[in-house]
Structure 1
Amino acid sequence: MSTTAILAFALVALLGVVTPGLDTMVVLRHALLGGRKVGIAVVLGISLGCLVWGAASTLGLTALLVASETAYRVVQLLGAAYLIWLGASGLWRSLRRGRGGALDVEVRVAGAGRGFRAGLVTNLLNPKVGVFYMSLLPQFLPVGGHIGWGALLVAMHIAIGLAWLGALVVLAGRARRVLSRVSVKRWLDRATAGVLLGLGAAMVADAR
């Protein structure tokens, strides 16, 4: 594989990573409300999800998902259901505790394990990640390219994602100091939960 092909893939991967999407939203929500530790856990979960999708794509397993419209829709609907559950449960808890004065938002979204699970499940139930690898990798692999080259490109994409999403966590940590008031946290919790609901609904509409 030529250096030009590697640099071209890195540029395309960077553009894909920095474009705001579902991963960005999930990371920012948990980092702003749960803190840096939780945000990093989400990033690691997303990265593991990308690793699974990348391995499946390199081995050709994702081709089965892409070839089967029914399987693709099922995974997409499961992802939508998970997003709606995240948004609805967060919104319900926020509204239920909204009259109680102090609102410990961190208790609800925090916990590195919970953050890791949210990042992993959200990524695994997003079939567009698999389609991204299936459509992109072959364009940069050399003729007769083998699993090793595919693994290298997947590793590059994951590394770029770790760097970018990690930077978002750091920025969110700084912004969090400004958003430390309970009332601000409460409305931020509700707003981000509403966005997750909207993304879930959009995925349902897209699956039809």
Structure 2
Amino acid sequence: MSSLVAFVGAAFLVAMVPGPSTAAILRRSLMSGRGNGVATVLGNECGVLLWGLAAAFGLSALLLASQLAYDAMRITGAAVLVFMGMRALWQARRGTAEDDEPVRTSAVSHGRAFRQGVVTNFANPKAGVFAVSFLPQFVPHGAPVLATLVLFSVIWALVDMIWYLPMVWLAGRARAVFQRRSVRRRMEQVSGVVLVALGIRLAAES
């Protein structure tokens, strides 16, 4: 029980650290509404769960053992983030800053939002390295390792979801402000720059 409590506390601290998932979830919630925001969160937690299960079954250990595998995942993840950022910047460029009238919602399908959440999380190899070094530390001595790691993976995804869902709700409350073209355009610019910067940082890391 003490290991479980410690793990939940640590998982909350990890969830609070902003990263590509935070940027993607906030952007989708502000631009497309709570429904798409929740779908992105669910996709992100699917990615978290996949990394946790990969750690449980030893697959993500390959990222630690093979520099080539890590670099391949790192460059792929960086390309995904840069693509998402450039797409947001392109959408902002198409906007009209002088027109301050409200615009219609730009919601995408929930399936697309879900896939964006999965890709954003699972394309980040740092999450895999973190999973394989983070989860095993909390396995109690004598406990069945595989079953415990699978349980911790599910709890990790649930804790992550508990952190992000209120964020989606708050973003939905503020969404009315972002329905004006000039504000939406600025938001797309900021989120685009953040995603591109995260992608470049991931690509440049050793």
TM-score by length of 1: 0.91
Q: 1:116 aligns with which of 114, 120, 125?
A: 114
Q: Which has the higher helix share?
A: 1
Paired position in structure 2 for 1:51: 49
How many residues end up aligned between the 2 structures?
Answer: 204
SS at structure 2 position matched to 1:98 = coil
* C-alpha deviation, 1:105, in angstroms: 7.6
Distance 2:180 2:95 in 1: 15
Map 1:33-182; keep pairs closer than 5 Å.
33-98=31-96, 101=99, 106-107=105-106, 110-144=108-142, 145-182=144-181
Distance 2:85 2:98 in 1: 21
Distance 2:47 2:84 in 1: 18
Residues 85-125 of structure 1, C-alpha deviation per residue, up to 9 Å, x if partnerless?
Answer: 11111211221343795785843x63212211111011111
Change (3 A) 1:105 1:83: farther
Residues 2-30 of structure 1, C-alpha deviation per residue, up to 9 Å, x if partnerless?
Answer: x1111011111110001222211110011
5+ long unaligned stretches in structure 2? none
Distance 2:27 2:97 in 1: 22
* C-alpha deviation, 1:69, in angstroms: 1.0
Identity of paired residues, percent?
39
SS at structure 1 position matched to 2:29 = helix
* C-alpha deviation, 1:178, in angstroms: 2.8
Q: Which moved more, 1:141-150 or 1:55-64?
A: 141-150
Distance 2:42 2:177 in 1: 26
5+ long unaligned stretches in structure 1? none
Change (3 A) 1:100 1:178: closer
* C-alpha deviation, 1:205, in angstroms: 1.2
Say yes or no: does 1:203 pair with 2:202. yes
Query: How big is the alpha-carbon RMSD for the aligned residues of Structure 1 and Structure 2?
Result: 1.8
Paired position in structure 1 for 2:14: 16
